[in-house]
């Protein structure tokens, strides 16, 4: 394709594309393929003109939306036998204008924020979702406490956890219980465990015997 022909073809494409916003219409007007137009878009000057034509095509749609929403589409009226209905005031055929409430609503929403729908998001804080299985939760707890296996949690956790055989649940004598910060982190890790993780009382020294 010679440079002269390419210039004419590009102009024909842009003119048709700006009117309809359809690439195929532009290609047919220019006598080129869609692949040719895709190649033209590598040229920054043509790409800028392409985008301007695309904006013009969008304005054509906006104009038609306004016409149908606010100006109205004229409809001539006829009798059941196909005879035109005449307006007695003018003697001419009676014409009614039809309007689209839906398009008017869309036009208002596009230009004015008060007509745009709002999305209400509600959260039910009374319902909790446990995304971990009991076995997965016990595995995380064992790793946090530095235990060799989940089975070592059995005497600590008591009923309701994997491997429990009915043995009593002794108090936890672990270093994690001596720090209020670590205890808070542990509660966050396993909030459903009823464990006594309060720091031990400070050593006040030996008691005097009476």
Instruction: Flag whether 139 is in a domain.
Output: yes
**Whether residue 97 sits in one domain with residue 53:** no
What confidence tier does 9 reach under pLDDT thresholds 50, 70, 90?
very high
Q: State residue 176's pLDDT score.
A: 43
What pLDDT was estimated at residue 174?
46
- At 155 the pLDDT is 59
Six token digits for residue 200? 């031990």
Task: Give the pLDDT confidence score for residue 54 in this predicted structure.
Answer: 93
- DSSP strand E in 17-72: where? none
With a pLDDT cut of 70, the percent of the chain lying above it is 62
Arithmetic mean of pLDDT over the chain = 75
Whether the pLDDT of residue 93 is over 80: the answer is yes
Query: Is there a domain that residue 207 lies in?
Result: no
User: Would you say residue 126 lies in a domain?
Assistant: no
Q: What is the pLDDT of residues 36-62, one digit of tens each?
A: 999 999 999 999 999 999 999 999 999
pLDDT class of 164 with cuts at 50, 70, 90:
very low
- Number of other residues whose CB lies within 10 A of the CB of residue 88: 7
pLDDT in tens, 96-131: 888 888 888 888 888 888 888 877 666 665 555 556
**Distances 149 to 102, 171, 195, 210 between C-alpha atoms, Å:** 65, 19, 19, 47
Q: What is the CA radius of gyration of the chain?
A: 39
Whether 84 and 112 share a structural domain: yes
Average pLDDT of the segment spanning 57-78 = 88
Question: Mapping DSSP to helix (H, G, I), strand (E, B) and coil, where does residue 142 land?
Answer: helix
**pLDDT given at position 160:** 52
Split into its structural domains, the chain has a count of 3
Q: Which domain holds residue 138?
A: 134-189
Residue 80 lies in a domain: yes
* Residue 95, domain member (yes or no): yes
Asked whether residue 4 falls in the same domain as residue 60, the answer is: yes
| Residue 53 and residue 9 share a domain | yes
Q: pLDDT category, 158, cuts 50, 70, 90?
A: low
- Split at pLDDT 50, 70, 90, the class of 27 is very high
């Amino acid at each position: 394709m010679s440079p002269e022909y390419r210039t004419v073809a590009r102009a024909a494409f842009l003119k048709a594309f700006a009117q309809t916003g359809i690439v195929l219409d532009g290609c047919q007007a220019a006598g080129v393929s869609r692949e040719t137009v895709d190649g033209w878009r590598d040229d920054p000057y043509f790409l800028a003109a392409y985008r301007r034509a695309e904006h013009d095509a969008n304005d054509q749609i906006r104009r038609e939306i306004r016409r149908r929403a606010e100006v109205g589409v004229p409809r001539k009226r006829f009798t059941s036998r196909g005879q035109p209905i005449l307006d007695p005031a003018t003697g001419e055929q009676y014409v009614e204008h039809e309007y689209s409430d839906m398009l008017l609503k869309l036009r208002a929403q596009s230009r004015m924020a008060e007509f745009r729908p709002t999305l209400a998001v509600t959260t039910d804080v009374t319902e909790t979702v446990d995304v971990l299985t009991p076995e997965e939760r016990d595995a995380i707890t064992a790793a946090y406490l530095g235990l060799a296996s989940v089975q070592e949690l059995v005497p600590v956790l008591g009923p309701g956890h994997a491997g429990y055989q009915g043995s009593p649940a002794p108090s936890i004598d672990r270093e994690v219980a001596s720090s209020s910060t670590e205890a808070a982190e542990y509660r966050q890790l396993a909030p459903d465990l009823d464990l006594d993780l309060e720091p031990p009382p400070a050593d006040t020294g030996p008691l005097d015997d009476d």
